[in-house]
Amino acid sequence: MPPLELGLFFTGTDTGVGKTLVIAGVARILRRRGYGIIVCKPVASGATWKDGRWVNEDTVALAEAAGQVRDLDHVTHWTFPDPVAPPVAARRVGIELKLDEIIRGVKDKQESNKAMLIEGVGGLLCPLTEQETVADLVAALRVPLVVVARRSLGTLNHTLLTLEVAHARDLYVAGVVVNETTPPQSLAEETNLVELQKRIRVPLLASIPYQLRPLTGVPASLEAVDWWKLCSANL
């Protein structure tokens, strides 16, 4: 199966690290620079009932960033109410997720000369179907990977473990983005960014400082990255 022509897959070192914030920012940057983009979060678990359907807040944030607010189903094909691992959430409503169907759902959204920004669930080894993980989806799509890490106690271990998994599975990592979800409160949090740079063999693309911000904003540190060039890594 051929790789996506243009795109990036964003994974996290954990849940709640700020993947959606980063992707929404990248989407807005690329749109402002005149590039065509599509956002995609293939599977979302944890949703509220609104206007006759289940709606995930991350899906809404991505759709708004990409100008796709009228078609949330085009952003997320599978949305489940329970905030648990996708195969569990699917099972609870009588559905079994299949990797080939998820791959097809992503590729069907592909448009010529538009970059697809894809958000995974949790981290690389988060269960995606009854057998496969998010890493299996990344491998099948053969799309460059951006790792989003939360700057906190444990950042070094979580990030290095994620990169180790990516390397073991021969996944191409375009770089790491570190996001502060809370203000640094310890010596470990104040020093781990420098230590991380010493230990990783991929670019540290950006570090996003903590601030009270809506998802409609664009973190300034993301502006310096050539996201279109990263999206084009498969060409």
Answer yes or no: are the C-beta atoms of 128 and 20 closer than 8 Å: no
Residue 211 has which token pair? Answer: 């601030």
Rounded Cα gap, residues 26 and 219, in angstroms: 9
205: left (phi over 0), alpha (psi -120 to 50) or beta: alpha
Q: 3-state class of 145 per DSSP?
A: strand
Rounded Cα gap, residues 96 and 79, in angstroms: 13
76: left (phi over 0), alpha (psi -120 to 50) or beta: beta
Answer yes or no: are the C-beta atoms of 231 and 33 closer than 8 Å: no
* CB-count burial class (<10 Å; 0-12, 13-18, 19+) for 76: buried
DSSP 56: -
Which segments of the chain does DSSP mark as H helices, in order? 19-32, 57-66, 72-75, 86-91, 99-107, 134-141, 155-168, 187-199, 227-231
Residue 189 has which token pair? Answer: 């949090």
- Supply the residues annotated as catalytic: 41
